[in-house]
Structure 1
Amino acid sequence: MTSHETRSADAKETSMSTGSGPLQGVRVVDISSSYAAPTTSMYLADMGADVIKIEPLGGDDARGWGPPFLNGEAAWFLSVNRNKRSMCLDIRGEEGRKVLFQLLESADVFIENLNPVKLDKHGLGLDGLRERFPQLVICAFSGFGLTGPDAGLPGYDLIAQARSGMMSVTGVDGVPQRVSTALSDVAAGTVAAFAVAAALVRQQQTGQGEIVDVALLEADLAFMSPRIASFLAGDEEPKPCGGTDSVVAIYQPMRTADRPIVVAIGNDRHWQRSCAALGLDELAQREDLATNADRRANREEVVGAFQERLIALSSNEALKLLQDVGVPCSRINFLSEVVTDPQVEARKAIVDYQHPVAGVFRGVGAPWRLASDPEDRQARIPAPMRGEHGREILTEIGLDEKTISELVGRETLWVP
């Protein structure tokens, strides 16, 4: 066993267990802030990894993203930082980086979201890190990636949605619209968690690390893949039209007597069944509407006929008719309905846990199920208080109380 492996094993053995899971025994050091990269470290933590969240002395930017606040704790921050431990360290100076590098000696994964052109300035150039820690899986987040002419530009969810073309197909009456949630962040964070987990498999097999290069732009391009492929295959350039221009006809919102629903006629069987359920037998018998391509060519007529029938029905009546024959459809839920949806409740998709300051916090749990998961899927530990575990973590890597106090005195470290 090498000296690195000995120090790594010792530090991990003394670390706080965050519970069982496929990644139990994996240590993640995460210096990222905001939402995308913290999504990755949260999902790794949900899988059992020991995640050390290193924040600036003043805390992660997301701690101030509100309202709403729960007794001063931002709901956005709480929603993406469960199952982690926090310490506050100034890594801009040499002394802080020295502590960071001591932590990386015991780490399997390092996550950062610094602007790529500033990595060397902060003493965290990726080539240098790979040479110093060849076993480390390094996950580098940015708006546009580590290479290319715009690698140095700042990136946020809004920017990625705009530049990827996503906003160009979203909205009504030709007006582009952002998807109103942190879509790019969650997408990039999820993709990165998959890539990191894959790199960890090879790390365990070969002892070699990896650089995982994740860009918000490319995560959104993945969402746009079918639209881009259709355009490159000769389809006309789409415009915002309220989701009524799908390659599938019908696949869009429809009005009923009381509220809108969505209908997804994904194949010719759905077409025949929906026509029968809605009393549109004449349409079902027409050869010029037999295939999806036919229905696309006559989209206006098809949608008009369905809309005329549905507007005379309540949403409950329309949904029952279509669901009874196996046609995919749904009401468009408001969030007040989402969080009380019987399926969401049955799957325990909304989890809650007790936070020492915020009280009971409720949020979305991990979007997967493992057969080995406990029935109670609540977070093992709540999102940490700022710097809550600093002394504990530094003790694990061998720093004594005198050294910790000196770091605090020189404003390299902050502890509560």
Structure 2
Amino acid sequence: MADHGHPPVVGPLDGVTVLDMTTSYAGPTGSMYLAELGARVIKIERPGSGDDARHWGPPFVDGTSAWFASANRNKESVVLDVRKPGGLEVLHLLLAEADVFMENLNPDKLAGLRLDPETIRARHPRLIYCAVSGFGLDGPDSGLPGYDLVAQARSGLMSVTGAKGGPPQRVSTALSDIVAGMSAALAICAAVVRQRAHGTGDLIDISLLDGDLALMAPRIASFLAGEPEPGPSGGTDSVLAVYQTFVTADRDIAVAIGNDLMWQRFCGVLGLAELVADAALTDNAGRRAQRGTITAVVADRLRERPAAEWLKVLDEADVPASAVKTLSEVVDDPQVRARGNLLPVADAPGLFGVRAPFRLASVPVPPNQPVPALGAHSRAVLASLGCTDDQISELVAAGAVHVRDKEVHDD
């Protein structure tokens, strides 16, 4: 693949090869983070349509889905049909050279294709096998299909999200998928450490439900400890008080009071000396007990002035607060810009991704190779395995491998 203006940087996963057969968003997000850490990611796609996310849209920019581009940079695409003669053999050639295998197929389909963990790990014991699914590899519902909306609903996440007194709402992003992808990347990195030290593989079981349950850990722990069962509250029922959004004279702001001294400073800049003087409100437990009363007083005061004025005085008082920003404001946020969070998709003007949520001093500039066209690297990857031109042609004729007329090669 081409350099695109920056000298190559060796990430900590340099030398690790990931064979990624996942589709949609969770698995591809995880493998993208591994690629950002230096791994070589070979994306195995089905003939014809490829990854489902290639067709998620609009928006499309020059035929490329913005959703697909956001989770598939720094990868190579190979189109392989393991059901056709020679296809499964090619996959095993790839697995023999790989360190990690990622898949998100239904368990029944895995068994039918002889790609289940037991079969693959018996043949490739050094391999790290990562299964990404909706509900995990065991349990009564392991065979059910998994989607973000269903995971948010089943985990209880939706039950506490939404306006106070209103119906449950989904967190409006691919939350379950992204958390599952991060979890997969974390577990794979840990398994690679042992693999490099001892040459042993592992089986990693990642599910959307497990990820969302992890997000709900403090709420579940509080409920099991005796807290009343929560419902949608508009974010006004945190363990902390005051810790929520408020309406100012012109827009909403979020205020996060994290300790007792912060509460005193907050009341001071709002001119609410009577709240500071109230001994019943000196600690968080007392403020929680009177949450409704104090938030009503605070809300009335904050409505008196515009957000910009309040945010200035709160910043000066070292009280965490922010305007509730729209995406048009987020993409122009000076901190977001300074951190380089928005990553233009290479060779695709108008498409952007978001930089991985980690920074390594050893990788000052993140790798940013183009999103691969479907099958763009099929021929080159097979050649690297030792397949001759005649063998590749036979696989193409059998429908096991699909190649593009013009493929991408390393410079």
Same fold at TM > 0.5: yes
Counterpart residue number, 2:10: 20
Counterpart residue number, 2:377: 389
Q: Structure 2: give runs of 5+ residues left out of the alignment.
A: 1-6, 405-411
Structure 1 residue 189 corresponds to structure 2 residue 159: no
Structure 1 residue 353 displacement after superposition:
3.4
Is the CA contact 1:18–1:50 (under 8 Å) kept in the aligned structure 2?
no
Looking at structure 2, the residues matched to 198 and 373 of structure 1 have their Cα atoms a distance apart, in angstroms, of 19
Looking at structure 2, the residues matched to 32 and 325 of structure 1 have their Cα atoms a distance apart, in angstroms, of 48
Q: What letter corresponds to residue 35 of structure 2 in structure 1?
A: A
Structure 1 residue 380 displacement after superposition:
3.0
Is the CA contact 1:18–1:381 (under 8 Å) kept in the aligned structure 2?
no
Counterpart residue number, 1:291: 283
Structure 1 residue 117 displacement after superposition:
2.8
Which runs of structure 2 are paired with 1:113-262 in the superposition (5 Å)?
113-172=104-163, 173-262=165-254
Looking at structure 2, the residues matched to 364 and 70 of structure 1 have their Cα atoms a distance apart, in angstroms, of 17
Equivalent in 308, 318, 329 of residue 326 of structure 1 = 318
Structure 1 residue 174 displacement after superposition:
2.8
Structure 1 residue 302 displacement after superposition:
0.7
User: Aligned to 2:32, what secondary structure does the other structure show?
Assistant: helix
Counterpart residue number, 2:390: 402
Counterpart residue number, 1:372: 362
Looking at structure 2, the residues matched to 252 and 296 of structure 1 have their Cα atoms a distance apart, in angstroms, of 13
Looking at structure 2, the residues matched to 149 and 52 of structure 1 have their Cα atoms a distance apart, in angstroms, of 33
Looking at structure 2, the residues matched to 114 and 269 of structure 1 have their Cα atoms a distance apart, in angstroms, of 52
Looking at structure 1, the residues matched to 115 and 352 of structure 2 have their Cα atoms a distance apart, in angstroms, of 36
Q: What letter corresponds to residue 24 of structure 2 in structure 1?
A: S
Equivalent in 29, 47, 60 of residue 37 of structure 2 = 47
Q: What letter corresponds to residue 78 of structure 1 in structure 2?
A: A
Could you give the per-residue CA deviations for residues 85-108 of structure 1, whole angstroms, max 9, x where no partner exists? 001001234521110000011000
Looking at structure 1, the residues matched to 396 and 108 of structure 2 have their Cα atoms a distance apart, in angstroms, of 29
Counterpart residue number, 2:341: 349
User: Aligned to 1:266, what secondary structure does the other structure show?
Assistant: coil
Counterpart residue number, 1:13: none
Structure 1 residue 411 corresponds to structure 2 residue 399: yes
Looking at structure 2, the residues matched to 19 and 68 of structure 1 have their Cα atoms a distance apart, in angstroms, of 32
Structure 1 residue 359 displacement after superposition:
3.1
Looking at structure 2, the residues matched to 308 and 55 of structure 1 have their Cα atoms a distance apart, in angstroms, of 56
Q: What letter corresponds to residue 392 of structure 1 in structure 2?
A: A
Could you give the per-residue CA deviations for residues 53-77 of structure 1, whole angstroms, max 9, x where no partner exists? 0000121110000000001110000
Q: What letter corresponds to residue 102 of structure 1 in structure 2?
A: L
Structure 1 residue 51 displacement after superposition:
0.4
Counterpart residue number, 2:409: none
Looking at structure 2, the residues matched to 92 and 205 of structure 1 have their Cα atoms a distance apart, in angstroms, of 35
CA RMSD of aligned residues (A): 1.2
Looking at structure 2, the residues matched to 348 and 125 of structure 1 have their Cα atoms a distance apart, in angstroms, of 40
User: Aligned to 2:58, what secondary structure does the other structure show?
Assistant: coil
Looking at structure 2, the residues matched to 286 and 109 of structure 1 have their Cα atoms a distance apart, in angstroms, of 59
User: Aligned to 1:52, what secondary structure does the other structure show?
Assistant: strand
Fraction of identical pairs, as percent: 55
Looking at structure 1, the residues matched to 202 and 283 of structure 2 have their Cα atoms a distance apart, in angstroms, of 47
Q: Structure 1: give runs of 5+ residues left out of the alignment.
A: 1-16
Is the CA contact 1:136–1:209 (under 8 Å) kept in the aligned structure 2?
yes
Counterpart residue number, 1:10: none
Looking at structure 2, the residues matched to 163 and 270 of structure 1 have their Cα atoms a distance apart, in angstroms, of 36
Q: What letter corresponds to residue 117 of structure 2 in structure 1?
A: L
Q: Per the alignment, do residues 237 and 18 of structure 1 end up closer, same or farther by CA in structure 2, a change over 3 Å counting?
A: farther
User: Aligned to 1:148, what secondary structure does the other structure show?
Assistant: coil
Structure 1 residue 273 corresponds to structure 2 residue 261: no
Structure 1 residue 18 displacement after superposition:
7.4
Counterpart residue number, 2:73: 82
Q: Per the alignment, do residues 339 and 165 of structure 1 end up closer, same or farther by CA in structure 2, a change over 3 Å counting?
A: same
Is the CA contact 1:354–1:360 (under 8 Å) kept in the aligned structure 2?
no
Structure 1 residue 306 corresponds to structure 2 residue 298: yes
User: Aligned to 1:211, what secondary structure does the other structure show?
Assistant: strand
Task: Give TM-score, length-normalised by structure 1.
Answer: 0.93
Looking at structure 2, the residues matched to 19 and 72 of structure 1 have their Cα atoms a distance apart, in angstroms, of 30
Is the CA contact 1:18–1:83 (under 8 Å) kept in the aligned structure 2?
no
Looking at structure 2, the residues matched to 130 and 299 of structure 1 have their Cα atoms a distance apart, in angstroms, of 55
Looking at structure 2, the residues matched to 339 and 168 of structure 1 have their Cα atoms a distance apart, in angstroms, of 30
Looking at structure 1, the residues matched to 34 and 346 of structure 2 have their Cα atoms a distance apart, in angstroms, of 21
Structure 1 residue 71 corresponds to structure 2 residue 59: no
Looking at structure 2, the residues matched to 315 and 145 of structure 1 have their Cα atoms a distance apart, in angstroms, of 45
